[in-house]
Amino acid sequence: MNGRVFLPASLAAALAACAAPAARDVRFELVGESSLFLPGIVSSPYSEVRAAVSPDGRTVLWGSTNRPGGAGGWDVWMSRRDGGRWSEPAAVSFDTAANEFDPAFSADGRTVYFFSNRAGGYGGDDLWQVAFDPATATFGLPTNLGAGVNSAGNEWAPTPSPDGRTLLFATDGRGGAGRHDLFVSTWSDGAWQAAVPLAGEVNGPGDDFDAAWLDGGRVLVFARSDDVDNAPIALWSAVREGERYVDVRRLDARVNVDGGWILGPSTDPSQPGTLLFSGERAGGPGRADIHLIHYRMR
């Protein structure tokens, strides 16, 4: 690739609907210090990655690679808030003996996206969706997102746009600029259309993955590593300029740990200006905990 990615008109329109144009003078700034997210409920001696908070703030989902009591493999867990108290974590009903991971809520809170290597996919880790009833905290039957999104490789970290018509995710199965790259697909004619690379300066020769849209899409926070299996991982930000994400910057030591691995960014829609992320930091009980930090736009 020549480093310049152009969006088809349908995708450009979808992105325009979910985010106002950003300029290079837009700045994303962290505020204060990071802290543990729901210690003793979500953050625990086990490994937790990528929290997903429902729009009403009453449900939180996350993935764990080793919390006991799940269906097997990597599992998605859930806790519900009743008044000021959170319930004990429980494995969700759509967990299987395969891997389920990287949950994300739709903007209306009635769909949960996730990845799984269960049978019935296109190969590797595929993206799936499942209906969620916020009143009863029950799930429907998962469905695969189809060939417009999924490939024979691995798809990770689904992130739907606020209007639900654009899906951001990472894949190593579509021939991008490097190993894993960030791609987007649009919903049209009853299906997710063939995904294309996210335009701008975010995809490089290594692994670019685990992305979250902040502030209506004006900012992107994503994970970057030379080699996700063998090298450190850090979170970076980029701002939106037209239809491209530019001005890529590494987040500072309030988030990243030199030589460590920090990943799984997400937001809490019930608390605007909050960034959630995963990894091992001093003071945490596990190898991978969920942390939160506030941010602002200038």
What structural domains does the chain harbor?
A: 19-297 (2.120.10.30)
Res. 5: pLDDT tops 50: no
CA distance 281 to 284: 6
Res. 23: pLDDT tops 90: no
Q: What is the pLDDT of residue 2?
A: 31
CA distance 33 to 146: 41
CA distance 125 to 115: 6
Which whole-number Å values give the CA distances from 189 to 157, 159, 186, 232, 267, in the listed order?
24, 20, 10, 41, 29
Burial class, 287, CB count within 10 angstroms (exposed 0-12 / middle 13-18 / buried 19+): middle
Q: How many residues does the chain have?
A: 298
Encoding tokens for residue 102?
A: 């990287």
Look-up of token digits 């200038």: 298
Model pLDDT for residues 43-67, shown as the tens digit of each residue: 999 999 999 999 999 999 999 999 9
User: Residue 145 has what DSSP assignment?
Assistant: -
